[in-house]
Amino acid sequence: MLYGQLAELDEGFVGAPDAYARRQLDLAERLLALPQGGEVLDLGCGAGRHAILLAERGYQVTGVDVDPALIERARARWSARHGAAAGPRFEVGDMRAPPAEGPFDAAIMMDVALGVFDDDADHLRTLGAVVDRLRDRGRLLIELYNPYYWAANARTVHYPPGALLPDGDLVRTYRFDALRGRVEDRVVVFDADGRRAMPTQSLRSWTPPEILNLVQAAGFSEATIHGTDGWQPPEDPLPLDPGRSVFMWVVATL
């Protein structure tokens, strides 16, 4: 529920259907080989940034997130852009047992939506749920942190008053926990109410061999790994650069 809390501070924490998200989806469409008007499952959809853009591109989209507040934001975003027009189906649900039967042509888990659980058995259960909901030869795209990058690039960002919060400072720190294989995301707010530390978001960050083993154990027949150009999704698929790619994109095929 962390991102729902952060969204109360600033909408930017849950991402907008903006130019960055459009670049993500430009690459995703190529990697997933989506059929025109295909059916897509967006797990961990948050406030709907990708589901909305996919629907605007003509796909039939179901977005699932465990946070009811984020699902309400997603529905409100669609209504603000399109009124009462039909759009994505947004549902509150656990990604380990999504309230969506399918079958789907593809599934996406963007913005490090996979990795939230403490136990890899829950991640395996999530991937198995995707397998059960994809058509034959359907594909899953997973965006993850690249552990090699984060092991060498701890990051602290200070947002002064006016940058995110109108009357407060915000400090966001990322660090890699090598013993647990997780990237920890900490947010601290300094304002008139004093110092407030938000709950730490800890996300599993697998090495390429680890994630390949996990998706194959879930039932996918093959998988490929790609990297980003620093923080940016590239126009064309790139190999993973251990020291430069902030994110790792995994494409798994049934």
Query: Are 191 and 166 within 8 A, CB to CB?
Result: no
How many Å is the Cα radius of gyration of the chain? 18
Task: Delimit the domains of the chain by residue range.
Answer: 2-146+206-253, 149-202
Q: Which amino acid, one-letter code, is at 223?
A: A
Superfamily for 2-146+206-253? Answer: Vaccinia Virus protein VP39 (3.40.50.150)
In terms of DSSP H, where are the helices of 83-220? 120-133, 147-152, 208-218
pTM: 0.93
Residue from 187, 214, 213 nearest 198 by CA: 187
Question: pLDDT tens string for the chain (254 positions)?
Answer: 455 556 565 566 678 899 999 999 999 999 999 999 999 999 999 999 999 999 999 999 999 999 999 999 999 999 999 999 999 999 999 999 999 989 999 999 999 999 999 999 999 999 999 999 999 999 999 999 999 999 999 999 999 998 888 899 999 999 999 999 999 999 999 999 899 999 999 999 999 999 999 999 999 999 999 999 999 999 999 999 999 999 999 999 99
Residue 190 is encoded by which pair of tokens? 């300094």
Q: What are the tokens at 21?
A: 């998200």
